[in-house]
Structure formats: structure tokens, C-alpha cells
Amino acid sequence: MEITTAIREGATILTITGRVDTATAPALEREINHQIEQGNRKILLNFSGVSYISSGGLRVLITTEKKLRNPKDGLGLCCLSAEVHKVLKLAGFTSIFHMRKQRRSPCLVVTIPSSP
């Protein structure tokens, strides 16, 4: 798994490539935590290069969502493959996360609170 980081319009975009599984999820969690510690609390996870996500990856997503519950914070997911979207849907996560099919302006995605 590879993670590329970019800042755009006040949001941190993490573009993930590869599998997010039990072996790679800790690296994703470390990078997200690093961004949060640096004060980057609007995060967009671009899943355009992710073909698979395991329960370990789902745990990282739910843990991050809990950390970014403040109305000024936000977590968005974009560009999910059909397979990854199916896993999120089966796990009941599609109602938790704000998701977009395409990576639009990050501000449109992450200024919306990630939970109701």
C-alpha cells in the first residue's frame, strides 16, 4: 500500500493505492494520526487506487471518524471502487461516512460533519 498526501483548499487529501488489509492498515492509521497531530483535521481519503479493504481497514475508518466528530472537523471518502463500496455497505458504514463518487473540491466533502 502507498499513501500520497496533498493539501488542497484547507483539506488534507490522502490518496491510497493498493490493499488496505490487516498488514497495511496500521500504516494508514499512523499517517492519518500524523496528519491529525499536525492540526490537519479535515481529511479526504481518496480510494481510487484501492481494490480491497479488510476489517482492519474498516477499524481505521471508524476510529478516525470518532476522532473527527467536532463540527469543525471532517472526514470524507471518495472514488471508492465497487468492491470497496460493497464492503462498506455490507458493514453498515455507508450511513456513517460522507462519500463521493469523484474527488471534487475537498471543501465540499469534508466540511460536512461525518456523523449525524
Q: Is residue 104 part of a domain?
A: yes
The structural domain count of the chain equals 1
Q: Is residue 26 part of a domain?
A: yes
Q: Is residue 115 part of a domain?
A: no
Q: Is residue 30 part of a domain?
A: yes
pTM summary value: 0.84
**pLDDT recorded at residue 71:** 80
- The enclosing domain of 86 has a CATH number of 3.30.750.24
Burial environment of residue 43 by CB neighbours within 10 A (0 to 12, 13 to 18, 19 or more):
buried
Rounded to an integer, what is the distance from CA 78 to the centroid of its chain?
8
Domain span at 53: 2-110
pLDDT tens by residue, 11-45: 899 999 999 999 999 999 999 999 999 999 999 99
pLDDT tens by residue, 90-108: 998 888 877 766 555 444 4
Q: Is residue 72 part of a domain?
A: yes
**pLDDT recorded at residue 15:** 95
Q: Is residue 23 part of a domain?
A: yes
Q: Is residue 106 part of a domain?
A: yes
User: Residue 53's beta-bridge partner residues?
Assistant: 20
